[in-house]
Chain A
Amino acid sequence: MPKRDSSLWTKCPKCGEVLYRRDLAANLDVCSRCGHHFRMHAYDRIAMLADGDFTEIGDEIAPGDPLGWTDKKTYSAKLASDREQSGLNESVVCGFATIGGFAVALAVMDFHFRGGTMGRVTGERITLLLEEARRRKVPCTIFAASGGARMEEGMLALMQMAKTTAAVTRFMDDGNALIVVLTDPTTGGVAASFAFQADVIVAESRAMIGFAGRRVIEQTIRQRLPDQFQTAEFLLEKGAIDMVVDRHNLKPTLIRLLQYVCHATPSFVTLSAPQSGAVEGLSKGDHAAT
Chain B
Amino acid sequence: MSNNVIVERERGLGELERRIAELREASAAQPLDMSTEVAALEGRYRQLLAELFGTLSPWEKVHMARHPARPTSLDYIARFDRFDELHGDRHFRDDPSIIGGFALLRGRSVIVIGQQRGRDTKENLKRNFGMPAPEGYRKATRLARLGARLGLPIVTFVDTKGADPGITSEEHAQSEAIATALVAFTTAPVPIVATIAGEGGSGGALAIAIADRVLMLEHSTYSVASPEGCAAILWSDAGKAEEAAARLKLTADDLHRFGIVDEIVPEPLGGAHRDATAVVNATLDRIDAALSGLTALPAARLLEDRYQKYRRIGQWQAEAQEEIERVH
A and B are interacting partners = yes
Taking a contact as CB atoms under 8 Å apart, the answer to whether A71 and B176 are in contact is no
Q: Flag whether B52 is at the interface (Cβ < 8 A).
A: no
> Measured between C-beta atoms, what is the minimum distance from A190 to chain B in Å?
9
**Would you call B313 and A151 a contact (CB within 8 A)?**
no
- A72 adjacent to B163 (CB under 8 Å): no
A158→B196 CA distance, assembly (Å): 15
Question: Distance in Å from the Cβ of B133 to the closest Cβ of chain A?
Answer: 11
**Does B173 count as interface, using CB distance less than 8 angstroms?**
yes
Contact B230 A151 (CB under 8 A): yes
Contact of B314 among A71, A124, A195 (CB under 8 A): A124
Nearest A residue to B307, CB-CB: A166
Query: CB within 8 A of B258: which of A150, A155, A189?
Result: A155
Interface status of A217 (Cβ within 8 A of chain B): yes
Report the Cα distance A194→B176, complex, angstroms: 10
Closest Cβ of chain A to B138, distance in Å, is: 13
Q: Let me know if A192 and B250 touch, CB within 8 A.
A: no
In the docked arrangement, what's the CA distance between A196 and B96, Å?
24
Tell me which residues across on chain A come within 8 A of B178, comparing CB atoms. Answer: 192-193, 196, 211
Per-position binary interface string of chain B over residues 287-328, scored 1 when its CB falls under 8 Å from any chain A CB and 0 otherwise = 000000000000000000011001101111100110011001
A154: B residues at CB distance < 8 A: 223-224, 247-250
How would residues 165 to 182 of chain B score, 1 for a CB under 8 Å from any chain A CB and 0 otherwise?
Answer: 111011111111011101
A163 partner, pick from B202, B230, B234, B313, beta carbons under 8 A: B313
The answer, yes or no, to whether B260 is at the interface (CB within 8 Å) is yes
A212 touches B174 (CB 8 A): yes
> Which of A71, A153, A193, A210 lies in contact with B182, CB distance below 8 A?
A193
Instruction: For residue B188, give the distance in angstroms from its CB to the closest CB of chain A.
Output: 11
Taking CB as reference atom, which chain B residue is nearest A189? B203
Interface size of A as a range: 35 or more
Q: Mark B230-251, 1 if CB is under 8 A from A, else 0.
A: 1001111000100010011110
Size category of the binding interface on chain B: 35 or more
Main secondary structure of the interface of A (DSSP, over half): helix
Q: Which residues of B contact A194 (CB under 8 A)?
A: 179
Q: Are A217 and B166 in contact (CB under 8 A)?
A: yes
B210: interface (CB < 8 Å): yes
A163 touches B167 (CB 8 A): no
With a cutoff of 8 Å between Cβ atoms, the chain B residues found around residue A287 in the complex are none
Q: Are A169 and B206 in contact (CB under 8 A)?
A: no
Nearest B residue to A226, CB-CB? B167
A256 to chain B, nearest CB (A): 24
Partner of A151, one of B167, B203, B248, B255: B248
Does the CB pair A69–B179 fall under 8 Å? no
A217 engages B247 (CB within 8 Å):
no
Per-residue interface assignment for chain B, residues 134 to 173, with 1 indicating a CB less than 8 Å from any chain A CB and 0 otherwise: 0000000000000000000000000000010111011111
Contact A211 B169 (CB under 8 A): yes
Q: Which residues from A are CB-within-8-Å of B170?
A: 210-212, 217, 229-230
Closest to B211 in A: A162
Question: CB of A152 within 8 A of chain B?
Answer: yes
